Structure 1
Amino acid sequence: MAVQNVNRGKVETAKTDRITYTIDLAQPGKPTKLNGELSGLAAYDFDATAVRAALDQPGSSDDGFHRIYRRISANSYVATTAPGVRVQVDGITFDDIAIRPSKFRPAEIIALVPADGSIPTPAQSRDMIEKVADFFEGFQIGKVEIGRQTVETPQGTGRINAVKYDPDNIALEGLDMPLPQGQLKMERFALKSFSAANLMRWAASLKTPGQPPSPDQMLGLFRVLQGAEIKGVVSPYKNTRQFVTIDTISLNWGQLVGSIPSKANLVVKMVTPTDTANPALRPLIMAGVDKLAIDLDVGAAWTESSGAFALAPASIELGDLAKAQARFALANVPRGLFTATAPMEAMGQAAQVETGAIELSLRDGGVVDLVVAQFSRMQNVSRDTARNAIVQMIRAQGEKIAASNADVRMAIDALAGFVETSGQTLSIKLTPRAMVPLMQLMQLSQSDPESALAQFRIEASTGL
């Protein structure tokens, strides 16, 4: 061990070549030892004055962060247990470790632990969790990088290229691990803006004896982090020889109003096998579609100044079969709708919301032919006969509504033309004729669909 440049409570470097240990793991009838070795441990720019400030009660009102280490690193760590389990980590670094004296109070956490070893009461547990949350707010690490990790077991060997942390992300990179069905590989998994302190406080809020968590308590999870991302996954699909591949799954949210995000975005790009055991997918399988490519992009945002809520873009693409897009707008959305805690309060706020324009489009890449082929098999007729029959059914059903609404006739004609000629794009736009309260429209949609449609001016068209 070597320590260099010790001066007035500060240490420039402290290095240890190797640390080894052995621990007896007490298991009845199975004596096992854990052997560990840590090599190349080093600490840089240690400042004892910052530690003293944190532990000194008169200085506990200090709300600033004080760095105690510039860096702590290790070259490698190896741990083994019998039989055949070995863990190795190559390269560990912790940068810019700091504490906030006003929050960093480990003695207060220890004082809450029952001295007689008894199980803490619910009230004691909540207090302890709150103190631990304060502790996390009083402890800060600028960056963490844990290098290549290997876990060897009798069932196989798993590997992770790196685990990285900074205030914006916790990321796991290069996962490769065995599963009973095959090998799982993942390029990256990340949590965005994760807060350990908020996680502890959220967990404490759920501990109400004898009562399930309320919806508002569950929504508190949005304060723990601001999103998650998965990239580059190849995973075995059930007990088949096929794989699920995920290019990207990304979910982000923000601009919390109360406990609810007023802005969110979801992106999914993946390919999954069509499950032969799922009856709903049987038409795809019969048409020779053994994989389904999914490309989903949904964004939603609320603007407080105008009270407008917009769902745009919202698109989903199912391989080469079809692509659907939607835009949906609401007006006069009050802030109270996001902060309401009681159902009746939320209903009162929702009554103020008005429906805006709705735009829908569907591009046919083969889905129409697929529906026609399925109908042809069910009716035991030719495909041309099946297509004509579907078109006639659309026109017949549409006539019941179109008699009192000329705009509906235009939409029915467009839908019929969409089925008649493959490879087209069907576009429909609904524009409110006047103010349309959302709650009223939802009720009309269930009790009187014709009146609900009459609230809108309908434009429809098809094109190649």
Structure 2
Amino acid sequence: MEEKARMKKVIITVAVIAVLGVGGYFGFDRFVQMRARNDVETVFASLRQKGAQASYKDVAFTLSGRRLTVTGIEITGPAAGQQVKLERLDAQEVTSPSGGTVQAKSVELTGLSVAVTDPLAAQTKVTYSAPQVSLVGYSGPDRMPAVPPGSKATQALRDGLVLFGAVRIDSVSIPKLSGDVTPPPAQGDKPAAAPSSFTYEALTASGIGEGRIAELKVGKMLVSTTTVIEATTVPVVVDVADLRASGIDTGPIRMLTDAEPKASSPLPIYEKISTGAYRLRHKETNLFSAGSLSAQRVAINPEKLSIERLQQLSALAQQPPSDDPKQVVAIVERTLPVIDGFAVGQISVNDIALAEKDAAVKIAAMNMKGFVDGRLETLEVLGLTSQLPGEKPSTVKRAAILGLSLKSILEQSAAMASKDDKNELIALNASAAVLKSFSGFELEGLEAPYDANGKMVSIEKMSLSWGDFTGLLPTRVAFRLDKVSGPISAEDGEPFSYLAAAGMDRTSISSVLNLSYDANARSLALAPASLELEKAFSAKIEARLENVPKDVFDAAPQDVMNNPTAILAKLQNVTAGALSVTVTDLGLANLMLKQQAELAGVEPEDLRSELISGIQMGTQDAATVNPDAAAVGEAIAAFVKAPGTITVTLTPKRPLPVASLLSLDDPFDALAAFKMTATAGPRP
């Protein structure tokens, strides 16, 4: 009996514990549900405190797996056009808020839609929608973080960037993200901009934290809009594959929203951006296509590039085109600091194809290197091919513009637009602006059709550069031309007629010119200028002018136009320096001798002897004025006898003003002012 009584107590105790345990579980579950609702409500309350309308339909929490579900979320921002809707939020393994932070192993967002106003274009609406968004490894604040005061014009953007900077996410996956951009309607004579839509497929992001994204990938991107082609509005589509970005930093963008943005230098927002195939097409016709695009180190300087400036520029750009100089000046004034605010290490576009009406254009690569402070270090095109119907293709191996200054172009455009008088002074300013807008260009491997018979012209290499400006003019110019080749004929005149008569149907020309001014020495040097005609001759000149005043280079355009006499007066004291001329025969001398002998009906050597005699007689006359002429005549005669190389040097005997030299009518009087030397020898 006692044993049965003992067992009965045990059974009753177990039953009581079981009942209490079950009841306790459901009670705790209800407690957790209430706690979850309170936590969610705290987040939404913090949104309401910032002026937003924030609501949700239901909150559920499952203790198993610590799964939080919130449905029917709607948030409308305090500013017009800001709204977020979310059908369902599911978070797995959610932690209770601790230290102001909540974590979840994974978060699934279903039926997400976002509507915002473009921060750079007033009244332009942008909407985004994503059926599914997956987050892994989420950690973020349990309520809206405090946002330091900033620019009121970008408060919504600032709030979002501050919140993004407080979030950490291992990875994000969005199978499809689509959206629309709706510009404001037409107002008066201001036409409405074209609406557009976009779609991103297979979007993933990883390594999100402290406002940075380690890597972003988009499998495919489509942008649809309309444009005007030959006065007809047609639909166009931009199609991009395999978009990738790494080293993304939103910190500099957040700095743009500061009340007074500050930065000592450009700060990178992208370390690298790249794409696969890129197409701009109308229906099935490609207007532009590229095999790939890439950009290295895209940076901004928040101090120079403010949101307010971008908004002002956007508003001006949306105005109808006008010839009003005030509008041009206003646009330039807004654009200059914006240009200064951008910096890019390099942009490359590969395998480019352009659809032109009467030509097919292909480019192997286009590279833009070193854009900073409004100047592009190099803009180069590689492997250009262009072909007109019925003609051979024109090709360029490489073409490059050096030191292209967008800032200088804009500054000069504003200066020209602000002038009331359209006269020669404007043209002079424009010419100077062109020189200062870039520092040179290079060309390599050009081949192009010369005539309908299929003959070609080519340039092996060409370069022209200038710089070190003083006033209007550069004090350094360097030009080089290597092997410009093309067909020749007897109709081209001397010396080409001699080459053509010898059976040549092509030749090439090469040239070099280096000109520099030394302000300290007050000298202008041509060192050297040279010209070479293949299988004919080469010539090199070195010369110098002394006592050249720097004021000539400093002269303002209005001084040149209004008082040219004063400029010429400054040149009166310029003196001639040494002059050296070197000529090397490459075959032309004997060709000329042979052909002239045939015309005269004599033997070439008889004609050579006659020429030498004539030189010797002329030298005797010149020697009466300048004894040095005898040595020069001997060198010329030796060159005619055995064509090779001859060098003649003229050195002023005393300071010789160029103006006085040019005023002399008799060339012998001019020669008398110089010491002359000459040497002749074999071709090097």
Q: 1:151-192: per-residue Cα shift (whole Å, max 9, x none)?
A: 466866532221112123211111222135311222111112
Return the letter of the residue paired with 2:312: E
Q: 1:221-264: per-residue Cα shift (whole Å, max 9, x none)?
A: 23222221111222222323322222210112222222322122
| Secondary structure of residue in 1 paired with 2:412 | helix
1:417: how far off? 3.4
Residue equivalent to 2:580: 359
Residue equivalent to 1:90: 291
Which of 619, 633, 638 lines up with 1:417 in the alignment? 638
* Structure 1 pair 385–206 and aligned structure 2 pair: CA distance change class (3 A): farther
Return the letter of the residue paired with 1:77: Y
Which of 244, 263, 269 lines up with 1:42 in the alignment? 244
The question of whether the paired residues in 2 share the 8 Å contact of 1:84 and 1:153 is answered with no
Larger relative contact order (Cα-Cα within 8 Å, sequence gap ≥ 6):
1
* Structure 1 pair 65–83 and aligned structure 2 pair: CA distance change class (3 A): closer
More deviation, 242-251/392-401:
392-401
* Structure 1 pair 112–348 and aligned structure 2 pair: CA distance change class (3 A): farther
Residue equivalent to 1:296: 511
| Secondary structure of residue in 2 paired with 1:288 | coil
Residue equivalent to 1:438: 658
* Structure 1 pair 193–439 and aligned structure 2 pair: CA distance change class (3 A): same
More deviation, 174-183/149-158:
149-158
CA distance in 2, matches of 1:377, 1:182: 40
Residue equivalent to 2:646: 426
Which of 9, 20, 27 lines up with 2:222 in the alignment? 20
Identity %: 22
Which of 439, 442, 457 lines up with 1:226 in the alignment? 439
For the pair 1:158 / 2:361, whether they are aligned, the reply is yes
* Structure 1 pair 434–118 and aligned structure 2 pair: CA distance change class (3 A): closer
Q: 1:42-66: per-residue Cα shift (whole Å, max 9, x none)?
A: 233333331233354x325655322
The question of whether the paired residues in 2 share the 8 Å contact of 1:433 and 1:456 is answered with yes
| Secondary structure of residue in 2 paired with 1:285 | helix
| TM-score of the aligned structures, taking structure 1 as reference length | 0.88
Q: 1:429-459: per-residue Cα shift (whole Å, max 9, x none)?
A: 1011011122222222xx2322211110011
The question of whether the paired residues in 1 share the 8 Å contact of 2:625 and 2:669 is answered with no
CA distance in 2, matches of 1:450, 1:317: 29
| Map 1:161-180 → 2, pairs under 5 A | 161-167=364-370, 168-180=377-389
Q: 1:372-420: per-residue Cα shift (whole Å, max 9, x none)?
A: 345346555554454455445545555554432222233234323322x
Which of 324, 336, 360 lines up with 1:121 in the alignment? 324
Residue equivalent to 1:455: 673
Return the letter of the residue paired with 2:625: S
The question of whether the paired residues in 2 share the 8 Å contact of 1:293 and 1:318 is answered with yes
CA distance in 1, matches of 2:241, 2:269: 22
* Structure 1 pair 24–62 and aligned structure 2 pair: CA distance change class (3 A): closer
CA distance in 2, matches of 1:144, 1:27: 28
Residue equivalent to 2:423: 211
Return the letter of the residue paired with 1:81: H
The question of whether the paired residues in 1 share the 8 Å contact of 2:456 and 2:487 is answered with no
| Map 1:36-435 → 2, pairs under 5 A | 36-56=238-258, 58-60=259-261, 62=263, 64-81=265-282, 85=286, 87-104=288-305, 105-112=309-316, 117=320, 119-151=322-354, 157-167=360-370, 168-180=377-389, 181-207=391-417, 208=419, 209-212=421-424, 213-276=426-489, 278-280=492-494, 281-341=496-556, 342=560, 343-376=564-597, 379=600, 381-391=602-612, 393-395=614-616, 398=619, 400-419=621-640, 421-435=641-655
- In angstroms, what is the RMSD of aligned CA positions? 2.9
Return the letter of the residue paired with 2:423: Q
The question of whether the paired residues in 2 share the 8 Å contact of 1:164 and 1:171 is answered with yes
The question of whether the paired residues in 1 share the 8 Å contact of 2:360 and 2:388 is answered with no
| Secondary structure of residue in 1 paired with 2:532 | strand
| Secondary structure of residue in 2 paired with 1:193 | strand
The question of whether the paired residues in 1 share the 8 Å contact of 2:512 and 2:528 is answered with yes
More deviation, 264-273/47-56:
47-56
CA distance in 1, matches of 2:537, 2:321: 62
Residue equivalent to 2:107: none
| TM-score of the aligned structures, taking structure 2 as reference length | 0.61
Query: What runs of 5+ residues in structure 2 fail to find an aligned partner?
Result: 1-202, 371-376
Query: What runs of 5+ residues in structure 1 fail to find an aligned partner?
Result: none
Q: 1:328-358: per-residue Cα shift (whole Å, max 9, x none)?
A: 1222222212112323343233223221111
Q: 1:98-119: per-residue Cα shift (whole Å, max 9, x none)?
A: 222343222232454585x362
The question of whether the paired residues in 2 share the 8 Å contact of 1:366 and 1:422 is answered with no
CA distance in 1, matches of 2:659, 2:292: 58
The question of whether the paired residues in 2 share the 8 Å contact of 1:114 and 1:120 is answered with no
The question of whether the paired residues in 1 share the 8 Å contact of 2:457 and 2:487 is answered with no
More deviation, 371-380/248-257:
371-380
1:217: how far off? 4.0
The question of whether the paired residues in 2 share the 8 Å contact of 1:54 and 1:99 is answered with no
Return the letter of the residue paired with 1:46: I
CA distance in 2, matches of 1:29, 1:204: 29
> Between Structure 1 and Structure 2, how many residues are aligned?
459
